[in-house]
Structure 1
């Protein structure tokens, strides 16, 4: 039987991940999370077992995927394929929303 109920995550109670991300709502096929990062922060190259789509609400970020680099600002969106080597460099204080499929979850130790 399919569950057709709506699900809400209260932002005050949303769990945080090891890298500072806030986990928003998560379904069976997709999950959302919120990033608030300070300028100058840069992650190490890594891979993830999910596809990531992101939307920049405020600020600017460099998205590095393999040898490709794109700079995204407010209103821009990006796609990082599943399994791709990636890292991010925050150029200006950043607020971004990402969705991952399959879902990245707070109880996964594979944050980021």
Structure 2
């Protein structure tokens, strides 16, 4: 077994602004850091399940047509195969885990 460490300060930014963190064969962790207001994410359907936790800021998660406000201390679930998007309302930071790992 190998222990892997990823320092968020030196991790490269992903194509959607995410910071990829620790990653295994069945689970991955990523950080969304200081996403600016109005940096809305495109509507998507993912093949992975996502759970997240809000560190700071506010966003609306639009999940299968239902809007849920996310605020610091909130956690959420996006099931695999469900259409969703995020509307950033206030500079937003969150950590997410995806299973299987997001591409």
TM-score of the alignment, normalized to the shorter chain, above 0.5? yes
Q: TM-score, normalised by structure 1?
A: 0.86
Point out where structure 1 has 5 or more consecutive residues left out of the alignment. none
Runs of 4+ in structure 1 over 3 Å off? none
1:55 to 53, 56, 60: 53
Q: Give the aligned partner of residue 6 of structure 1.
A: 3
Structure with the largest fraction of strand? 2
Check if 1:79 corresponds to 2:77: yes
How far apart, CA to CA, are the structure 1 residues paired with 2:48 and 2:93? Answer: 21
Gaps of 5+ in 2: none
Alignment RMSD (CA, Å) = 1.1
Greater shift in the superposed pair: 9-18 or 85-94? 9-18
Q: TM-score, normalised by structure 2?
A: 0.93
Matches of 1:96 and 1:12 in 2, distance apart?
Answer: 15
Residues 36-47 of structure 1: pairs in structure 2 closer than 5 A: 36=33, 37-47=35-45
